[in-house]
Amino acid sequence: MAHARDLVTVDIGGTHARFALASVGADGSVEMDEPKTLHTEDHASFQTAWEDYRTQMGGTLPDAAALAIAGPISGDVIRFTNNPWVIRPALVPEKLGVSHYTIVNDFEAVAHAVAVLDDKHFLHLAGPDNPLAPSGTLSVIGPGTGLGVAHLWRDGAGNSRVQATEGGHIDFAPVDSIEDAILARLRKRHTRVSVERIVSGPGICEIYATLAAMENRSIPDCDDVEIWTKGTLPVSDGGDSLAAAAVDRFCLALGSVAGDIALAQGGFGGVVIAGGLGYRIRDILKGSGFAERFRFKGRYEQLMSSIPVKIVTHPQPGLLGAATAFAQEHC
């Protein structure tokens, strides 16, 4: 690295925008302060959210920014997948008051973080309990407000290349009668059903409603946060058995999709589950049918069984990865 650099790193999703001050050292390492989280629905635009953060930080920010955005990065106008904000890259210096900036897809940022994190930042989930391969392709997938997907290739000498994708929008492929019913329910409202409709935080509502209909129960207006809460608590502590069944179904679907992504990308060096939702349900994932579904790929079951699957434990991989991407481009 030529020199050290201070910057603001930002991870913008469908629900939250997270900001942190970061410093890139001369060796390329990134240090961050404690992040601040703003709700996207509380701000009319990214610029007003940036100004809010600037005020919270005393009115002055570094003149460099790294932005991780939940949506495809292309064209003169960047639109978010699950958020009404738009960003015009050409206007970023003027609007934010910065001289240098980097914009990456949010899961491209997570993949950049995966590339630099130590083994201690990964929790074993499925497959052999081995470290992620130092060479070859790693797949990165994360359910949140949507479903993020990326991958990275490592050359074995410490270098990596990251590729953003929109893999969360591939077609959902049911593998049993309950998933057939989930798909049928969604098809009544969507001509095409992507995996993100099911394997995401809000997707738990579609799973829950399908299970309720199968048992001839009334289907109330669904609050996905409530379903996740009731589905991850013991019944004695306020949990709900139908919500728990929905969470278990989610884990199965996530296993299937993660396996499909690994096959499509050649992610045989390892698969990484990232994002806050995956981490919050890590213990449930380990005890669920996730691993079996991940392996359930017919003639390729033996290959799938050889792939280590990990969960990221770093608290802010998106912020770290955005800053890492900035360092690679500007420092």
73 contacts: CB under 8 Å, gap ≥ 6: 103, 104, 105, 108, 164
Other beta carbons less than 10 A from residue 247's beta carbon? 23
Instruction: Please answer whether residues 145 and 41 qualify as being in contact, where contact means their C-beta atoms are separated by less than 8 angstroms.
Output: no
Q: What is the pLDDT of residues 86-140, one digit of tens each?
A: 999 999 999 999 999 999 998 899 999 999 999 999 999 999 999 999 999 999 9
Answer yes or no: CATH 2.60.40.10 is held by domain 168-312. no
Dihedral angle computed from the Cα positions of residues 187, 191, 197 and 203, in that order, rounded to the nearest 10 degrees: -40
How many whole angstroms separate alpha carbon 101 and alpha carbon 314? 24
Amino acid identity, position 63: D
239 contacts: CB under 8 Å, gap ≥ 6: 230, 231, 232, 233
Where do you find CATH 3.30.420.40 in the chain? 5-113+316-330
Other beta carbons less than 10 A from residue 74's beta carbon? 11
Select 5-113+316-330's CATH number: 3.40.50.300, 3.30.1370.60, 3.30.420.40, 3.40.50.1980.
Answer: 3.30.420.40
Question: Which position has the higher pLDDT, 13 or 250?
Answer: 250
Determine the pLDDT at residue 3. 57
Q: How far apart are the first and last CA of the chain?
A: 6
Where do you find CATH 3.40.367.20 in the chain? 168-312
| pLDDT grade for 80, boundaries at 50, 70 and 90 | confident
Q: What is the pLDDT of residues 202-219, one digit of tens each?
A: 999 999 999 999 999 987
Amino acid identity, position 279: Y
